[in-house]
Amino acid sequence: RKEVEQDPGPFNVPEGATVAFNCTYSNSASQSFFWYRQDCRKEPKLLMSVYSSGNEDGRFTAQLNRASQYISLLIRDSKLSDSATYLCVVNLMNRDDKIIFGKGTRLHILP
């Protein structure tokens, strides 16, 4: 099983729809989790952290399921500007400070 696994997509979603994607991780000792966003030909940027209790930031909701070892990202009322690649990131926070990036899920919002 890969350390961090995501469906590469692309997800083609009409504007205004709700879209969700998951990310699974293999190391149960993983401590912290994040979603990053990467636009075409740009650098990745932090979208949001993922907390055990779940957290929301505007139209974005992130959830963590430690028992099943996955995190999810839900985008409501999607906008054209949400088109990007969403990277799942897992931080083992161990001695090696290993931070693992998933390969990303491509999202296209269609007008």
Partner 1 sequence: DTAVSQTPKYLVTQMGNDKSIKCEQNLGHDTMYWYKQDSKKFLKIMFSYNNKELIINETVPNRFSPKSPDKAHLNLHINSLELGDSAVYFCASSHRDGNTIYFGEGSWLTVV
Contacting positions for partner 1 (CB under 8 A): 32, 34, 36, 42-46, 49, 85, 87, 89, 91, 93, 96-99, 101, 103-104
Residues 18, 24, 29, 31, CA torsion sign: negative
- Cβ nearer to partner 1, comparing 76 with 103: 103
- Cβ nearer to partner 1, comparing 15 with 57: 57
Of 86, 82, 80, the C-alpha closest to 102 is 86
- Cβ nearer to partner 1, comparing 17 with 99: 99
Rounded to an integer, what is the distance from CA 49 to the centroid of its chain?
9
